[in-house]
Amino acid sequence: MVKKELLVSIALCSYNGEKYIGQQLDSILNQTYKNIEIVIVDDHSTDGTFDILRRYAVEHPQIKLFRNEANLGFNKNFEKAISLASGDYIAISDQDDIWLPEKIETLLNSIGDNWLIFSNSSYIGGKPGNNLLHKAGLSFSNYKSILLANFVTGHTTLFKKEFVEHLLPFPLKGFYDWWMGFVALYHGKIIFLDMPLTQHRLHEESVMQRRLSSGEESFQQVKATSHMLSAFSRYKGLSVADRRFIIELKNAYRKTYRRKRSFSLIQLIVTNYRELFSNYKVRQGLSVLNFAFKYAGKVRTRATLNLT
């Protein structure tokens, strides 16, 4: 069991979240684990969010409130919040979810010697068992499994302070939680707890929901993958061989992303299917080749959906 005197920092970033942020803060303040600080960095909200946050900060000394003079965007804002955290452990919080009361305590008791732990989450208003992650047996055998698809959700993570020196700075483009997952997995310091400890909110104001409703998501997915492969290739902790592989994969993916047929991407998928897609169904022979052709075709097709 984790010692109660260990401080846990919750890094919460807000932006125009007045509708739900009070519910989220209440769920954090009602955690069974009490030795916490809540580091909130507001990214220059233009609604009533900051006024709500100030009222909470006055009433709850655990809250440390900051406000950006200009909008930084979610990657750099979370980077700032993490940098301001002083706890032995740090947990990431979205502004509009709801945490189960035992979330922090459960994650602390399960992290072990790992740098990072992430759990499952359920959708607010969804059917029982409708969790964000559906594959209980996520494979962490090889860092390649996270290169083309992220499965680490930032709002479910808790990590040790020592992880920060390997983690920051976040890439300018892409997703901070994908980066967190890659770095922790590369060093074999990650664990998944298949328990829904967060109630995750999808609503019409969310960035993801706006993309889905506009048809933009498919293009954004391949664009983000391209950005993340570039970021992964620059990670300072890579071996020479692993850097060479990621650069090769990045170049092959980008060729396809630019709407050209990339036989190099197909070849890389065929050769490395079990590692790149370890969380997918087991395939062999022609099934792998067929999957590789379809995957490359989807990347090329989605790249044509450039709605920006």
Mark which of 200, 228, 258 sits at the end of a domain.
200
* CB neighbourhood size of 23 (10 A): 16
Q: Give the integer Cα–Cα distance in Å for 106 and 119.
A: 10
Are both 85 and 222 inside the same structural domain?
no
Helix 176-186 to helix 217-233 angle (10° resolution) is: 40
Q: What is the pLDDT of residue 143?
A: 95
Residue 128 forms part of a structural domain: yes
Q: What is the pLDDT of residue 15?
A: 95
Q: What is the pLDDT of residues 43-81, one digit of tens each?
A: 999 999 999 999 999 999 999 999 999 999 989 999 999
* DSSP assignments along 22-67, one per residue: HHHHHHHHT-S---EEEEEEE---SSSHHHHHHHHHHH-TTEEEEE
Both tokens of residue 132? 């964000």
Q: What is the mean pLDDT of each run of 10 residues along the chain (308 residues)?
A: 82 95 97 97 95 97 96 92 97 96 98 96 76 68 91 96 96 94 96 93 54 52 91 97 97 80 90 90 90 87 56
Are both 97 and 154 inside the same structural domain?
yes
> Could you tell me if 246 and 236 are in contact, meaning their C-beta atoms sit under 8 angstroms apart?
no
Question: How many domains are contained in the chain?
Answer: 2
Instruction: Name residue, tokens 């067929």.
Output: 290
Mark which of 165, 200, 235 sits at the end of a domain.
200
Which helix (H) or strand (E) segment is 8 a member of? Answer: strand 8-14
Residue 133 forms part of a structural domain: yes
Are both 256 and 289 inside the same structural domain?
yes
> Could you tell me if 111 and 191 are in contact, meaning their C-beta atoms sit under 8 angstroms apart?
yes
DSSP-assigned letter for residue 192: E
HSE-up of 281 (CA within 13 Å, CB side)? 5
> Cis ω on the peptide bond leading into residue 61 (within 30° of 0)?
no
Closest CA to 96 of 152, 177, 28, 37: 28
> Could you tell me if 155 and 93 are in contact, meaning their C-beta atoms sit under 8 angstroms apart?
yes
CATH of the domain at 45: 3.90.550.10
Query: Residue 49 CA to chain centroid, in angstroms?
Result: 23
Q: What is the pLDDT of residue 304?
A: 60
> Could you tell me if 255 and 203 are in contact, meaning their C-beta atoms sit under 8 angstroms apart?
no
Q: Which residue range forms the structural domain that includes residue 27? A: 8-200
DSSP-assigned letter for residue 19: T
Residue 151 forms part of a structural domain: yes
DSSP-assigned letter for residue 178: H
How would you list the strands of the sheet with 63-67, edge to edge? 63-67, 36-42, 8-14, 89-93, 157-160, 116-123, 190-200, 98-99
Q: Give the integer Cα–Cα distance in Å for 77 and 17.
A: 15
Extract the runs of DSSP E, i.e. beta strands, from 148-297. 157-160, 190-200
Are both 112 and 218 inside the same structural domain?
no
Q: What is the pLDDT of residue 2?
A: 60
Q: Give the integer Cα–Cα distance in Å for 4 and 2.
A: 6
Residue 97 forms part of a structural domain: yes
Q: What is the pLDDT of residue 299?
A: 84
Q: Give the integer Cα–Cα distance in Å for 234 and 257.
A: 20
> Could you tell me if 89 and 11 are in contact, meaning their C-beta atoms sit under 8 angstroms apart?
no
Are both 80 and 160 inside the same structural domain?
yes
> Could you tell me if 209 and 157 are in contact, meaning their C-beta atoms sit under 8 angstroms apart?
no
Residue 20 forms part of a structural domain: yes
Residue 1 forms part of a structural domain: no
